[in-house]
A and B are shown apart, each in its own frame.
Chain A
Amino acid sequence: MNRIKLSKFIKQAYKERYLYLMTLPGIIFMILFRYLPMGGLIIAFKNYSIRKGIWGSAWVGLENFRFVFTKNPDFFNIVRNTLQINILELFFAFPFSIVLALFINEVRAKKLKKFIQSTVYLPYFVSWVVFAGIVIQFLSPDTGIVNKIIQIFGGQSIPFMQEEKYFKAIVVLSDIWKGAGWGTIMYLSALTGIDQEIYDASKIDGASRWQTMWYISIPGISDTIVVLLLLRIGAMMDVGFEQIYVLCKPILYSVGDVISTYVYRVGIGNAQFSMTAAIGLFQSVVGLILIIICNSICKKLFSKSLW
């Protein structure tokens, strides 16, 4: 039985030999620099010691996980913050880039379009350390622009960076400000792939711009949207470290401390390698489950998927 399968496989492989050849370098590097180091994840089940190495360290089973989930009273809070921020980002930041790209696409004046395209991605290059300084300055109770505007309308100055209820919104909004423009690049390049004739035909049929966007542009870039969406969902348990680290001061820990800042404090700061690996594994597994579920949903609903 197996011999037949094997010979069938070899025949097929020979038929597709060029394809295999083309993916060979990718596969080699994938194995070398992704799968080989992945073996290191087993330290999540061990008590890793640098001296004993990855193989020599003692097994502790699920002890690291147990500790993180039960012995840290704040862990639930930290996970909740991570999820909340990510869900907000999913609902606001993710579509914002798409809408922005669609709008840019609508601009007909070439020079204006180029100007807009060349400026919106600029904040992406400003590091969070400096960008946070700008955000904090904007929101400053005495001198910040936002509060000055509030005062003009007769309101009271609000210390935004000290109050818990504003923090998550500040995170998402500043993320949009910084990254939305950069995020449009992929969508814009996808939009160029839509046949111009379809647009022309729809205009002749009298379609409004909004109808064009909804029935032509969005479906036209839906492949890209789905890929980015699924990958985004896979990262649901992870919020970028740098942004939170510079924006969240101790007074806001209860709403702002996320998994990555916790890992930075204890995992990296205290050299808790095994615990870091365990938390990372937890994040990855949750992401995997979410991707698998959403991938199936996308397949059924839109017949688009990652695999």
Chain B
Amino acid sequence: MRYRRKIAVSDILIILLLISFSFLCILPFWYVFISSISDPLKLKSGDVRLIPNGFSLAAYKAVLGEMRFYRGLGITITRTVIGTAFGLIIQAMTAYTISRKYFSARKILSKLIVFTILFNGGIIPNYLVVQRLHLLNTIWALILPMLFNPWNIMLLVSFFAAIPDSIVESAKIDGANELVIFFRLAAPLSKPALMTILLYIAVRHWNELMDGVIYINEERLKPMQVFLIELIMRSSVQNMVEPTENFVSVLSIQTTAIFLSCLPILLVYPFIQKFFVKGIMVGGIKG
């Protein structure tokens, strides 16, 4: 039975601060949206307005009217779904094992993993490895290299470590092996953390650009971000080179690209938030 407090001054203060910050955060995003539907002929750089400056869907037509956008979208969706599903499982399993304090390889594995956060071979060595594995020009070049993410793993370790040993012990006594414990016990108990990492991986896949540039030559395998960047580049050059009736300023394209890029994630996030429910931990293990 929850004990309800009266509404204190600090409550109001916090709420005011949060609401102000919220609006401050909506502002840039709103500006992006408004710019994308403004008339490109009237759009001025940095002119932060609340209502559109003329109305035009020219930028959206430029982006959505191209077959390549949808092809890119397909590639991006594919890599995101596959990459997130497998990535999450692999990273979670690895994090779980490291969180087991009795695991003999725990320390050395943690060190090896953190080491990879700090040290990176660079673009050409990474490219050569992908090439030797015959992954160039395949969608796997966009998926496999990102399956192992040391940063996510170290974050998940702290969550898995918080699971009471007593639960794990009693499951073991009941004859469960580590795999079972992971899938049936640890993972469900760590839903908020797993959902957060799922979000991280998905967003990263969705927005990743450079791997599409370096590893893919074929147009039809290029992810959406590559196409969007190309569109932005082209509009800035194009406008310098040729007059056009359908003038779409660079800013229009940029803002439209941003808006289309984050839309899916924005749609997914509310579902993920459902998992952020308080007090998932089973309370009945005390004493």
Contacts and interface: CB of A to CB of B under 8 A. Distances in A.
| Direct contact between A and B judged by beta carbons closer than 8 A | yes
Interface of A: 12-13, 16, 18-23, 25-27, 29-30, 32-41, 43, 50, 54, 100, 103-104, 106-107, 112, 114-123, 125-127, 129-131, 133-134, 136-138, 140, 177-178, 181, 185-186, 188-190, 192-193, 195-197, 200, 203-204, 209-210, 223-224, 226-228, 231, 234, 273, 276-277, 280-281, 284, 287-288, 291, 306-307
Interface string B268-284: 01100100111111010
A38 B153 contact: no
B261 interface: yes
Contact of B104 (A12, A27, A200, A204): A12
Interface residues of B, number: 100
Interface of B: 2-3, 5, 8, 10-11, 14-15, 17-19, 21-29, 31-32, 45-48, 90-91, 93-94, 96-98, 100, 103-107, 109-122, 124-126, 128-129, 133, 144-145, 147-148, 150-151, 153-155, 157-159, 161-162, 177-179, 182, 192-193, 195-196, 199, 251, 254-255, 258, 261-262, 265-266, 269-270, 273, 276-281, 283
A276 B261 contact: no
B118 A291 contact: yes
Contacts of B8: 209
Given A30-B113, A39-B125, A280 B120 contact: yes
A146 to B, nearest CB: 12
Contacts of A125: 29, 258, 261-262, 265-266
Given A35-B116, A133-B46, A227-B155, A119 B25 contact: yes
Contacts of A115: 22
Name the 7 nearest CB pairs between A and B, nearest first. Answer: A40-B125, A137-B46, A37-B121, A26-B94, A223-B158, A125-B262, A189-B192
Given A16-B103, A189-B276, A192-B192, A277 B122 contact: yes
Q: Is the interface of A mostly helix, strand, loop or mixed?
A: helix
Given A133-B45, A134-B48, A117 B273 contact: yes
Contacts, number: 262
Given A203-B5, A231-B154, A185 B122 contact: no
Contacts of B100: 19
Contacts of B179: 18, 21-22
A92 B16 CA distance: 21
B193 A190 contact: yes
